[in-house]
Copies of this chain bind each other. A is one copy, B any other.
Amino acid sequence: MKDLTKIILSEKELPSAWYNIIPDLPRPLDPLLSPRTLQPATPDELIPLFPPDLLQQEVSMENWIDIPGEVIDIYKQYRPTPMFRARRLEKVLDTPAKIYYKYEGVSPAGSHKPNTAIAQAYYNKVAGTKRLATETGAGQWGSALALACQLMGLECTVYMVKASYDQKPYRKMLMHTWGADVTASPSNETECGRKVLAEDPDCPGSLGIAISEAVEDAATDENARYSLGSVLNHVLMHQTVIGLECQKQMAMVEDYPDVIYGCVGGGSSFGGIALPFAKDKMTGKNVRLVAVEPTACPTLTKGIYAYDYGDSVGIGPVAKMYTLGHNFIPAPIHAGGLRYHGDSPLLCSLYDQGIVEAIAYHQIPVFEAAVTFARSEGIVPAPEAAHAIRAAIDDALECKEAGEEKTILFNLTGHGHFDLSAYEAYFNGKLEDYEYPEEKIKEALTHLPQV
């Protein structure tokens, strides 16, 4: 089996439980705080936003959480996802390294996001929630939740960052096809949105603002709850099906990664592939786990490790994380999913403890890597995922210099079918590189909550 190119598992080999790393952490996680009191958030404060099962998972000390049958049934529509040996890319790079990639773009929504969307919709249905409200940047998360709500019989309201709402009409249409309501954020539908618009009527929006709107919407309607596509512990845990499958697929080809690359916005796709391997690492395995982020939003590589608001307006939970400041408005890079001011607290803790590493790339070399990949492996990657490709290619090229037969694995979190205008801009020389200025980071310090 060592010579396989497409490494697939039968549906019988779908993981039956998610892996929860929390009990295995060398240092306990700092608790979420209430935005009102800045004291540890009580269940009472969170229950209007999240159903009991998800709150339980957020703090669970069980290592394995069974995946409900109804969730498994929907996973089967696209899981297990394939892992590929990138033979044609290896040949183009003329590298002795072996490059593998896990491909999550086979889901109907085109990314890894349904892994948690389906689970969240399920637990909400069980809890009697009628409608879920959420935010979306480029639209990957919003479309995943629209799909999941449709399949679970829930209504879905998506606050979509206005810049993307205008630039990516196809993502909006996809959400409509799955029956969701989509509103450009900042909107006049919420107090948070009206507040932002009053200050800046032309505000292009940000993920932080859209989160504020969705949280307010859910908190003020007893039939609705809120759903977050990344950052939280339970979200990363649902995504561990990615890494659990990778472990089986690597075993099929009798190999094991020396290094794993994944892009990081809020941390869910990276956590999904990395956490099961982080367990291996903490028990002695030699595997590097490298988070790849854009220089335009260098949360891990240049941010501050501190308590900050998860949303821009400051009505959502406060988390200890690397942050660029909750009032961060990102440069308009095309990797919309990587423009969040913070990062998963779990991932940040692993980074702080040296279990996870991080690097940052500019967007033009990222698109260059994306095109090299599309022209060798065929698949057109999402700009977010292309960050991991850039890192994998650079590593493989270093292996060529050093004559090293390293095993590289990266997470191809989604396809770029809805990002082709970014490719066209790249071909037409219209992309710009952005560096997040040091002085802005210093300035951000002054806006952190005083915990």
Query: Hey, what's the 0/1 contact readout for A407-429 against B, CB within 8 Å counting as 1?
Result: 00000000001101101100100
- Tell me whether A108 and B417 are in contact (CB under 8 A): no
Taking a contact as CB atoms closer than 8 A, the residue among B84, B371, B418 that contacts A417 in the complex is B418
Stretch at the interface among A183-191, A285-293, A372-380: A372-380
Taking a contact as CB atoms closer than 8 A, the residue among B88, B177, B417 that contacts A374 in the complex is B177
In chain A, positions 198-247 with a C-beta closer than 8 Å to chain B are none
Instruction: Give A5's nearest chain B residue, CB to CB.
Output: B76
Residues of A within 8 Å of B, CB-based: how many?
A: 45
- Tell me whether B174 and A378 are in contact (CB under 8 A): no
Q: Does A170 contact B (CB under 8 A)?
A: yes
In chain A, positions 404-451 with a C-beta closer than 8 Å to chain B are 417-418, 420-421, 423-424, 427
Query: Hey, what's the 0/1 contact readout for A332-376 against B, CB within 8 Å counting as 1?
Result: 000000000000000000000000000000000000000100111
- Tell me whether A173 and B424 are in contact (CB under 8 A): yes
- Tell me whether B417 and A378 are in contact (CB under 8 A): no
- Tell me whether B8 and A8 are in contact (CB under 8 A): yes
Q: Are A150 and B5 CB-contacts (below 8 A) given A84-B77, A177-B420?
A: no
Number of copies: 2
- Tell me whether A427 and B176 are in contact (CB under 8 A): yes
Taking a contact as CB atoms closer than 8 A, the residue among B78, B176, B420 that contacts A423 in the complex is B176
Q: Roughly how many angstroms separate A179 CA and B77 CA in the complex, as a whole number?
A: 32
Instruction: Give A418's nearest chain B residue, CB to CB.
Output: B417
In chain A, positions 286-312 with a C-beta closer than 8 Å to chain B are none
Given A6-B78, A77-B377, A178-B375, 17 additional A-B pairs, CB 8 A? A6-B77, A8-B8, A8-B10, A73-B87, A77-B88, A150-B375, A151-B376, A151-B378, A169-B421, A170-B417, A173-B424, A174-B417, A174-B420, A177-B374, A177-B380, A177-B427, A178-B374
User: What are 7 A-to-B residue pairs whose CB atoms are below 8 Å?
Assistant: A5-B11, A5-B73, A147-B378, A151-B376, A170-B417, A177-B371, A417-B417
